[in-house]
Structure 1
Amino acid sequence: MEKPESQDRPLELHLEDSRERISQSYIYSQLARSSIRLLRFISSTSPNAIECELQTFPLSYTPQYHSLSYFWGDPIRENTLSCNGKKIMITTTLKQALERLINLDRGGVKWIWIDQICINQANSEEKGIQVNMMREIYQKSEGTVVWLGPNILGIETTARLLEKMQCLHKEDQDPINGRRKRKFYTLTEFEAKTLPPAGDRSWKILAEILARPWFVRTWVIQEAVLSRVQPRMLCGSYELDWQKLLGSCSWMVSLCYRITPIFQYTDAWHAVRSLHLFNDLMNVGLPWDLETLINRAIRFKATEPRDKIYSLVGLAGEASDSSTIPKVLQADYNKPTRDVFRDVTRHIIESTGSLSMLSLIRYKPNWEKFPSWSVDFTAGVHWERISDLVWGRHQRGWHATREDPNKASDNLPVDLQASFSNDHLNVGGILIDTLGTPVEAMSQANLDCFGNQALIAWKMAQYTRTRYPSIEALGQAFMVTFTANWRLSGTELMEHQPQRHFWNYLWRIYDRLLEEARSEQHYQEVEQCFHHVLKPQSIDDPGDADLYRHYLDAAYNRRMFFTKDKFYLGLGPSIMQEGDLLCVLFGGATPLILRPEGEHYRFVGECYVHDLMSGEAIKDWHDGKYTAQRFCLI
């Protein structure tokens, strides 16, 4: 359910919106809070002459109806529809969907709910009330019909591909907790799985399907998941198998995402990650806690920014009924976006007793627009999270994820005190140390292609030899930190791997630099700079550089750093700088970076710090080595 914002639009579009509101307002009467409008087709003499009827029903007493899920597309309504004997304007995308729906066998169900027509989009009060009822609207529906758009030539060739990947998904992944039963596929293992070769047409057509914008719109999450039966997914005249599409995408995300032919199609890959969430929602069941929903749906898009929150509330435990939704989560399109995002961030921190919501601040912030601790839910994610998310239970019994395996604050709850301003977040914690100069932010291309950035970061790590005096101890600290100790499978973490894989990765970089040396002098400079900091390799078992390279996602767009006094080694956000503070705040699973600003602090981001991820700072605090203090975040 989307309604485009009007700000920053050309004058002619404002005038067009005004004409649409005037031409359509007369078909809408006042809608009671507990009622909805439904649409049904009366007749169709041609695709351009569909006649419809719109009626109002109490939500507790409606005829059978379906609900439509689709992407609005171009917001300009330039197509006419006959409704209750009058002409109304609809978008081109909806016109295409109606032309397909009027001839679709829906088992005798005549009525359908369509947001663009059944809600008076020009009435912000009505829109807010209907949005708060969205969970009940979709749950009461006989099922959701998904319209992806017009035909794709050859779409039927994807059936065998999806069937095979769905079978692999069942073999390789736990359907309940989503954990991998094995490590990532190597290219050789992937190619041996009898899937169509990379050049096969079915991959390209699947990419075309997934490039349809429906897959990444935030409203479609609840529209599909709340369907009482498996959604019917229509692409032109073809009907896709919903379950096979979900299983296939979940398998790709979990086990082979970089080596699939789909990965080269950026728009399609966003959809693959989105469908992984749909798969988890279907398998785990509802309700989820709101923080988990927001975490998992952060990459979805919404034309109206506030819908990044409002579109998910219907799936949350806090909204089991529209009358029980907390005020801070009730749809209010008159409330500034800034205040909505700030208040929801604070609400989640207070209700969960955790600072894990701050792990969503993985972008370059706009501190002029939002408080540094307030999540901008519309910002694109620029780097991956530090902690893994594993399933657990919210204190009120809802399905929820928690950060794992990290517990820097030893599972202590957040220490939150009242502030003078709604823009302040007053929290307690421990100041650990001040940051030295971090290395430059590392790029995915450089790390994946054995570029020099990892080796430069390794040389910088020599500053921490006071804490890690042997090369083996430093190698272990760096190997784990550089990957944020990511999970390789359900039980294995990077810390459980032998160091030889890490050393082989560094030697591959070193050898490449020597091969690319432009002159003898350059060759000698590379050798002099790096050779003495590398550990000799075992001839019998040199290790697997590619195994280590597969798990560097956490380092992409992050910076390695050390601290000035205690010589901790860490991996932090790209915006960090010398003089920032390394802290452990109560309620945080990871250490956090703060920036002093007078008597206050700016939140910079989460980080991975070797020797601080398992409550060590809290133990030292109990032993009197640290003093707890207040941090007023602005």
Structure 2
Amino acid sequence: MDSLYQHFPLDPRSIRIIVLEPASDPSSDIQCGLHKASLDYVLDFEALSYTWDGQTPECPISCRTVENLNDFPSTPFSTILVTQNCVDALRALRRQSGRRLLWIDGICINQADIDEKGVQVAMMGELYGACRGVIVWLGNKDEAAERAFRFMLDIGGAMENMVSRQRASEPTSAQVPLAEDIELHESLREMLQNLQRMSKEQYNPESENPLRPLLNRSWFHRMWTVQEVVLPAQGDVTFQCGDLKASFPTLRFVATQIEVAKFTKVGIQSSMKLQLELTDALARRRLDGMDGDQNSDAVKQGYQNFTRTNFSHILHMYNQGDGNRTSKIKLSAILDGARRKRVTVPADKVFALYGVFQELGIPMSAPDYRKPTEDVFHDAAVASISSEKALDVIYLAVTKTRRENLPSWVPDLMDHGFGNMDPRNCTEDVKRFTAGSSLPPAWEFLPSHRLRVCVKLVETVTKSFPSFDVHVKSLQGHEDNLEKPSTSQASLAQLHKALTLLREWAEAVRGHAASYPSRKDMVMSFLKVLLHDEKSCVNHAEEEDRFDKWFSVLEKDDVELMRSSIMKNGKEMSKAKLAKVAEYQGSSVLKQLKSWKAQMSNAFEERERSSKSFAVGMLGHVGMQNVTYPAMEPVLQLHLAILRFARRQAFFTTETGRFGCAPDFIAAGAVREGDRVAIIAGLSLPFVLRPLKRGGSVRETDEYELISHCYQDGIMYGEAVHGDGTELQDVVLV
């Protein structure tokens, strides 16, 4: 093998550009040169966006330095090692005749030089703004990927034809803001409906998302690829899979169209959400900033055409009454999206978006790969608070895993956060509650990565209870599967554990009955905690006193519940089913059941109503399904809702007899005795704070560890604070 290529040094404003040599034979070796160019001059090159796919750079390509683009140097080639995916991309992009100028990070940046890497990363915003276009290499095609790509081209082609016809019939006016063009919105909505029908005729919405073979490719889930498609000035981004090509607007439209068509397995949120949000924000910011530019009309028309091509997202905003949305996007929201993307180097969760931050006007420290990861994440949190004039980034600090030396209030961006259906995800709760949002936020950044905030310490936790984790869908369809230990036994055990723990929580609630005017008030407060006061669920619970019926079930033990089930639903119990019950209920309950069966078998036979099997009755009392009789079905629905909202939550009581819940199975651990419930000025949700301890005892100090957000009865709507904030005190989060 030839000697390894030595990258020539770069000036502060310089980059390297690949000169890809042509080849008539697609299988011939890759030959290229590296040319030094300055970002201060107009450049004509394309940027390649691709992923390493976990591959090691071990594929040799031939490279040499090219001083002048018009010359063909006679200097010998050296070797650069790249990944196989990079080689595949170069083969696909290489011309049969004529050189092609490209920028590829894995070749153009000396990956072994940490200082150079930081400087080059800091210039990527300019680099992607200067390039003629971006080619997204998704890899070689296979059968599934080709089918998905051709589906995209079919639907996208129909979209482009419709938009072209619409433009031809419009009066030409680059000055009409798209958000105000109501007639165009109506026309585009009709187009969208037509395309929905087209996709539904060809694909079953209950099946896999037709784009999934593409969206599953690693490019959509990597951090670095985000800014590579959102920074190009004209949205000139081409996606390529093998020899198939499609524009970014086409992919964007078809992906959103499929989401609107409600395919059951979409994947848009995890694969493209951040790219789409940043594309919108940058396009609007550029439009807003073009007034007074001598070329503003032409450029504005280009952006408006690009935005119209992406009309599906605009339609969604219009339908939601958000047609006048500004270009502002919060840094905390960007960081939330970034933590779901994959990186090899943790600091790239921030550095990989530095160009985006620059264009959005968000102050951020320049990339420095010598800085510890904890400092990078801390600086990002500081930038979020400073730019937003708000503390919202603290919501992201509650995670399943956490770096050891990270301050408790700083998000660990390497943790992906909680999914949309996980009750520990507080995104919707932040919108619904106002515990401290009426108070102006106040903060001070202190040495040693500490943060001073204003809070009201509301309660002290006196006791916390174990949490449960059960998937609600495990309640469904087990009537026919009870004989299959692999599918039913674990689910039944989970459901029974959940019911047992809910009984413990209910017992604790009854112990604080004196704190409430009536049993109804007590039970409703309990339910609001369990349901996070989700209005539709709470209203359902209040109908026909369902909440009281549900609570009454919790007041019975297993033996009482099963006896009731046999009386109401049981008919015949086989030895096999009795043995199955014993596996998760114990021999003492089994003995009681056998006794009841002998006493009541005649009574069962005399019943003329259609009774369910004993197996279903047992499932009912372990999981509260079909509890005692059909009239209890609404109670089952309430119980299902409670299981959805209350799972992975630690229930707690306070010194004043109130109770609440907080996320469990998190890095900070569950809430525990001695923790304080605090309202932080400016935040919608209360938080659990833990007094700092030294030598096993609580110090006389104002320092606390932030544990998690929480829900506590009686403080979620600002009841505990006054508008003047006189009851607040300063605390320090460490």
Name the counterpart of 1:37.
16
How far the C-alpha of 1:442 sits from its partner, in A, is: 3.4
Q: Which residue of 2 aligns with 1:266?
A: none
Equivalent-residue separation in structure 2 for 1:483 and 1:253 (angstroms) = 28
Query: What is the Cα deviation at residue 214 of structure 1?
Result: 1.3
How far apart, in 1, do the equivalents of 2:332 and 2:530 lie? 27
1:134 aligns with 2:127: no
Change (3 A) 1:261 1:299: closer
Q: Which one of 429, 439, 444 corresponds to residue 455 of structure 2?
A: 429
* Alpha carbons 1:142, 1:229 under 8 Å: kept: no
Cα distance, 1:593 vs. partner? Answer: 0.8
Q: Is the CA contact (8 Å cut-off) linking 1:573 and 1:607 kept in structure 2?
A: no
Structure 2 equivalent of residue 414 of structure 1: 441
Aligned to 1:23: 4
Quick check: which one's helix share is greater? 2
For normalisation by structure 2, the TM-score amounts to: 0.64
Deviations 1:423-475 (A, max 9, x none): 32222211111224333333252576373466443761434645555565456
Q: Which residue of 2 aligns with 1:7?
A: none
Structure 1 counterpart of 2:431: 404
**RMSD in angstroms over aligned alpha carbons?**
4.6
Conserved 8 A contact 1:483-1:555: yes
Quick one: which amino acid aligns to residue 630 of structure 1? Answer: D
Cα deviation, 1:516-553, whole Å, max 9, x if unaligned, reads 854466779999x9999x999994x9549669958976
Matched-pair contact (CA < 8 Å) for 1:413–1:587: yes
What is the DSSP-based 3-state SS (H/G/I as helix, E as strand, rest coil) of the residue aligned with 1:617?
Answer: coil
Computing the radius of gyration over CA atoms, which structure comes out larger, 1 or 2? 2
**Which residue in 1 is equivalent to 2:141?**
151
Inter-partner Cα distance in structure 2 for 1:465 and 1:614: 23
Name 2:678's counterpart in structure 1.
583
1:66 Cα offset (Å): 1.7
Name the SS for the 1:36 alignment partner: strand
SS at match of 1:87: strand
Tell me how far apart the structure 1 counterparts of residues 545 and 157 of structure 2 sit (CA, whole Å).
33
User: Are 2:597 and 1:618 aligned?
Assistant: no
- Structure 1 contact 570–608 (Cα < 8 Å) conserved: yes
Q: Which amino acid aligns with 1:616?
A: E
Q: What corresponds to 1:279 in structure 2?
A: 276
Cα distance in 2 between the residues matched to 1:249 and 1:596: 48
Matches within 5 A, 1:306-345: 306-316=347-357, 319-320=358-359, 326=363, 329-345=365-381
Give the deviation of 1:584 after TM superposition. Answer: 0.7
> What is the letter of the counterpart of residue 460 of structure 1?
W
Change (3 A) 1:367 1:60: closer
SS in 1 for 2:677: strand
Could you tell me whether the CA contact under 8 Å between 1:71 and 1:217 is conserved in 2? yes
Q: In 2, Cα distance between the equivalents of 1:139 and 1:547? A: 54
Q: Which residue of 1 aligns with 2:505?
A: 460
Verify the 8 A CA contact 2:134 2:237 in the aligned structure 1: yes
SS in 1 for 2:117: helix
Task: Tell me the residue number matched to 2:239.
Answer: 233
2:416 maps to: 380
Deviations 1:126-156 (A, max 9, x none): 2111111111211222222111222121434
Q: Does 1:215 align with 2:217?
A: no
Measure how far apart 1:122 and its partner are.
1.9
Distance 1:612 1:252 in 2: 41
Within 1, Cα distance between the matches of 2:356 and 2:79? 35
TM-score by length of 1: 0.73
Q: Within the alignment, does 1:628 sit opposite 2:728 as a pair?
A: yes
The answer to whether the 8 Å contact 2:34/2:108 transfers is yes
Which residue pairs with 1:124 in the alignment?
114
Please say if residues 428 and 586 of structure 1, whose CA atoms lie closer than 8 Å, have aligned partners that are also in contact.
Answer: yes
Change (3 A) 1:164 1:232: closer
Instruction: Report SS of the residue matched to 1:431.
Output: strand
1:570 to 661, 666, 683: 661
SS at match of 1:593: strand
Q: Provide closer, same or farther for how the CA distance between residues 59 and 630 of structure 1 changes in structure 2, counting only shifts above 3 A.
A: same
Cα distance change, pair 43–418 in 1 and its aligned pair in 2 (3 A): closer
Is 1:559 aligned to 2:650, yes or no?
Answer: yes
Task: Evaluate the alpha carbon distance shift between residue 282 and residue 204 of structure 1 in structure 2; reply closer, same or farther with a 3 A threshold.
Answer: closer
Counterpart Cα distance in 2 of 1:365 and 1:334 = 24
- Secondary structure of 1:146's aligned partner: strand
Change (3 A) 1:89 1:517: closer
- Any unmatched runs of 5+ in structure 1? 1-18, 169-174, 177-189, 263-268, 390-402, 487-491
> Structure 1 residues 165 and 341, CA, compared in 2 at 3 Å: closer, same or farther?
same
Asked whether the 8 Å contact 2:148–2:212 carries over to 1, the reply is no
Identify the match of residue 62 of structure 1 among 18, 42, 54.
42
Contact 1:277 1:297 in 2 (8 A): yes
The separation in 2 between residues aligned to 1:140 and 1:604, in whole angstroms, is: 45
In 2 relative to 1, CA 122–407 (structure 1 residues): closer, same or farther, beyond 3 Å? same
TM-aligned CA distance change 1:557 to 1:116, over 3 Å: same
Give secondary structure in 2 for the equivalent of 1:437: strand
Q: Matched residue of 1:619: which SS? A: coil
Which segment is superposed worse, 554-563 or 95-104? 554-563
Given that residues 64 and 109 in structure 1 are in contact (C-alpha distance below 8 angstroms), is that contact kept between their aligned partners in structure 2? no
Amino acid at match of 1:234: Q
- Is structure 2 residue 86 aligned with structure 1 residue 81? no
The residue aligned with 2:465 is 439
Following the alignment from structure 1 to structure 2, what is the Cα–Cα distance between the partners of residues 473 and 306? 50
Q: 2:206, 2:103 → 1: CA distance?
A: 41
Percent pairwise identity = 24
Which residue identity lines up with residue 655 of structure 2 in the other structure?
K
Could you tell me whether the CA contact under 8 Å between 1:124 and 1:333 is conserved in 2?
A: yes
AA partner of residue 344 (structure 2): T
1:154–1:572 distance in 2 versus 1, CA, 3 Å:
closer
SS in 2 for 1:281: helix
Question: Is 1:290 paired with 2:331?
Answer: yes
CA distance in 1, matches of 2:527, 2:250: 38
For residue 87 of structure 1, report the CA deviation from its aligned partner: 2.6
d(CA) in 1 for partners of 2:211, 2:240: 14
Paired residues, what number?
550
1: CA distance, partners of 2:455 / 2:120? 42
Q: Distance in 1 between matches of 2:678 and 2:350?
A: 29
Give the match for residue 399 of structure 2: 363
Amino acid at match of 1:218: M
